[in-house]
Amino acid sequence: MIWDVVRKEIRTNISTPKVFITYIVCTVLILSALVTGAVTYTQMVEDARQQTAAEKDRLKNVFNYQQDFLVAGQNVYRVPSALSVLVSGVEGDSARRGNVNTMAGATFDVSKFNSTPVLAVFGLLDLDFIVKIILSLFAILFTFDAVSGEKELGTLKLNFSNPMKRSSFIIGKLIGNFVLLIIPFVIPLIMGLLILEFFFPAVQLNGEDWVRLGLIFLAFMLYLLVFYSLGMMVSSLTKRSSVSFLVLLMLWVFFISIVPRGAVLVAQWFHEVPALEEVKKDFARGIGPNTGELMKKLRTKVQELQQQLISTRPRKPVVVTDEYRERMRAWEQQRDQASQEFQSWLAEQYQEFTQKIQQEGMKKVEEMNKKQNVQTQLAVNISRYTSPAAALTFSIQRLAKSGVYSSDDIFQEQVRGTVATFSKNATDVVKQHPEYLNQGFGGGQPIDVSDQYIDTTSFKHESLDVSIASSLVDLAVLVLLSVVFIAVAFLAFIRYDVR
């Protein structure tokens, strides 16, 4: 009996405008999203490759070691995960470039010419958006009059004049309509993936990526099931379909925008995070006095040396004797040695100086980042348990490695980890070649520092088990909600007044 109901549902509805429109909308949006995502991703990969090559080139010809290398540092570029083609996450707002230098440690920016502000204006078109907003609305559209509509039309009581079990009816409806909702989503998705496979070679998915993709698909299905069952539930609780629609629409707006945003606000309220400006300000304040100290030391040392050399310099006699020349030579030797010693001392002082500045600055930034992470975690936790939309977004962003936690954070962490080694190596070089510090006004030969380039190919993305562990929570929330809604729909329908 159930399968008859399923077949009836599919047959009656498949020729309705709503299925047709859903199919058209899905096809257009999914294909546009995947193609656009793939084009953008290909561009980003190419950009990162070119920029890395250009940076290595630059490092081969550094003129002013201090200004152009120690202070300006070197740039490292991040390549987003291939799955960001499907779920772009917060890519538009993530750091694409990191800069490692001896003064501020590690800084990050979106590098204006890598982020397109137009994305902020229009918002990214990706699968997350399509499923979360459009398809959930369609899920409501399919179900709001599933029960109350049939009652209004009078067909409901006709059905039960037959020996039909109520449970078969509701189960059949649930299955039938869900199939109708899912098919227009799955078919374009498969088409899209095929297009990616054949036309966009830069989008490489390895075995692990396919597992993640499978889980993302599961998340989408569960999410749609939540709204679908919500629709059925409300429809079985109300007598008039206009009422069920009003309620469902309000719930939709509520779950998708208001609750998640509210959760973020609550988290911010509980956990204030000091502004980055404070940190930068303190850092800038510190540079002056620290430089002043260094300069004082320098002055005293230079004066000492000057006194020493001047006092030991042999006086030039009226007649230049060989003895004089010899003593002069000895003195010159002394002078050269003193000069070299001075330069090594200078290099050491400089290394100390940069370490001090860096430590102070980086410590504050790290503190701030920790606080930020606590706040973010709180916001995530509050919203994922109160809104299925939030649960969906967090789980798929985690799986696609394009979210609040994943790509950017891990990249930043790993870059920060290279600072200590970089500073040490860079300033060690200065100890060996103290003349590098003098190259400012004098021109001189270009220096090749490309062997100090930080290799980001060893940087890792978040591992699969960590992503799964995190998103499992969200999937569980979705499953729980669906089960509750279906159960209530079932019970409500058993007691539904079909007259």
C-beta closer to other proteins: residue 171 or 376: 376
Pick from 420, 368, 431: nearest CA to 102: 420
CB of 50 to other proteins, least distance (A): 4
C-beta closer to other proteins: residue 48 or 454: 48
CB of 356 to other proteins, least distance (A): 16
CB of 435 to other proteins, least distance (A): 14
CB of 180 to other proteins, least distance (A): 15
Q: Is the dihedral of CA 87, 461, 372, 104 positive or negative?
A: negative
C-beta closer to other proteins: residue 260 or 361: 260
CB of 478 to other proteins, least distance (A): 17
Query: How far is residue 409 CA from its own chain's centroid?
Result: 7
C-alpha to C-alpha distance for 99 and 441, rounded to whole angstroms: 25
CB of 419 to other proteins, least distance (A): 20
C-beta closer to other proteins: residue 32 or 421: 32
C-beta closer to other proteins: residue 164 or 410: 410
Place of tokens 């449970």: 167
Q: What is the b/e burial string over 468-496, where b = at least 16 CB atoms within 10 angstroms of the residue's CB?
A: bebbebbbebbeebbeebbebbbebbeeb
C-alpha to C-alpha distance for 265 and 270, rounded to whole angstroms: 9
Token pair for residue 496?
């539904």
C-alpha to C-alpha distance for 91 and 109, rounded to whole angstroms: 12
Long-range contacts of 216-221 (CB under 8 A, 24+ apart): 216/83, 216/86, 216/87, 216/127, 216/396, 216/399, 216/400, 217/189, 218/475, 219/392, 219/395, 219/396, 219/399, 219/471, 219/474, 219/475, 219/478, 220/127, 220/131, 220/185, 220/392, 220/396, 221/182
- Number of Cβ atoms within 10 Å of the Cβ of 35: 17
C-beta closer to other proteins: residue 54 or 487: 54
Place of tokens 């954070």: 409
C-alpha to C-alpha distance for 83 and 128, rounded to whole angstroms: 12
C-beta closer to other proteins: residue 473 or 491: 473
CB of 43 to other proteins, least distance (A): 6
CB of 99 to other proteins, least distance (A): 11
Pick from 104, 429, 450: nearest CA to 279: 104
C-beta closer to other proteins: residue 118 or 310: 118
